[in-house]
Amino acid sequence: MKDLLRVADLTGDDLTLLLRLATDVQNAPESAHDLLTHRIVAMYFAKPSTRTRLSTAAAVVRLGGTPVALGPDELQLRRGETIADTARVMGSYAAAIVIRTFADADVADLAAAAPVPVINALTDGHHPLQSVADLLTVQEHFGHLHGHRIAYLGDGGNVARSLMEAAALAGMDVAVATPPGYAPPDEAVAFATAEAEHGGGTVTLTHDPVEAVKNASVVYTDVWLSMGDPEDQRERRTKALAPYQVNEQLMLQARHDAVFMHCLPAHRGQEATADVIDGARSLAFRQAANRLPATQAVLYALLTERLVGRR
C-alpha cells in the first residue's frame, strides 16, 4: 500500500497496526528519529489548518526529516502546470507528500503520478488521519475498542465518513444521526456495514439523536459549516442541524461514563455547548494531541511499506 487516501483503503489489520504504532510512538516519540534524515516531506495546504499542519510538521521532525509547507500561491498549479507534472517533480525531491485540499479527484491524480507516498490530510470526502487519532483516543481512554459504541451527530460529511469506516474496521458499533439529506454517502455506508458485520460490530443510521446516543460510549460531533461549504448555506444548515446539538441533556442519554469528542475547531453554542466541550468528559483536546502520534504512525508505516491495503 503506497498511499493513504481514505480509510476504506485499509484492512482491519492495517488499522490495528497503525494504532499499535501510534501507541508505541506515544511511549517513545523519537524511536525512529533517523528514518527521514536529510530528507523532506512536502506539505501542500489549499485549506487553512492548525492541527493538521502542526501535527504533520512535528511528526516529520520526530522522524528526523524537514517539513516543507506549501500553499496554492507557491506552486505553479495556478499557472497551468498539471497535477501529474507537479507530483512527479515533488516526488523527485520529497520522501512523501501530504496534501490538504478540496477535491478527492485531485488527491487521487497526485497519488497516481507521484513516485512517493501521498497522504490525504483532508478533502471534501475524507479525513483518514483524523479517524486514526480518534480511535487512538478512544482506545487510550477505555483500554480497548471492541464493544464500544460511537454516536456521531450532525452532518455526514468527511469526518463522519472516515470515523464510521474506521470504527467499523475496528469492530465497533457506530451510530450516525443526521437530518434528512445529510447522511454519509451510500458507498461509505455499504463499506462500513460490511466491515462491521465481519468484525462483530453494527452500523446504525438514524434521524433521531437520542436513538443514536443510547448506550454510546462516545458522543462525537463536528462543525455545521465546513470549509468549502457556501456561506449562503449557513442559515439552512443551521436550521437543519440545530436539533443535533450536543448538550448536557443529550449526554445524559448516553452511557454514564460516555465521553465527548470533537475534531475541532469548535463553535460553542452551535454543534455543542461550552459546558460539554470544556467539561470533564470532553476528550476533544486529547484528540488534537493524538493527531501527532497518529500522523507519525501513518508516515512510518507507509515509508517502511508496512501497510497491505486492499488489493
Tell me which residues are annotated as active site. 100, 127, 130, 222, 263, 291
- Using CA atoms, how far apart are residues 89 and 81, in angstroms rounded to an integer? 11
Q: Is 40 helix (H, G, I), strand (E, B) or coil?
A: strand
- Cell numbers placing 113: 503520478
Reported as type and span, the H/E element at residue 15 is helix 12-27
Tell me the CB-side half-sphere exposure of residue 146, using CA atoms within 13 A. Answer: 7
206: nearest Cα among 258, 166, 164: 164
Reported as type and span, the H/E element at residue 111 is helix 104-113
- Cell numbers placing 51: 492541527
- Cell numbers placing 15: 488499522
CB atoms within 10 A of CB 197: 13
7: nearest Cα among 309, 228, 311: 309
- Cell numbers placing 285: 483536546
Residue 79 per-residue DSSP state = G
- Cell numbers placing 34: 533517523
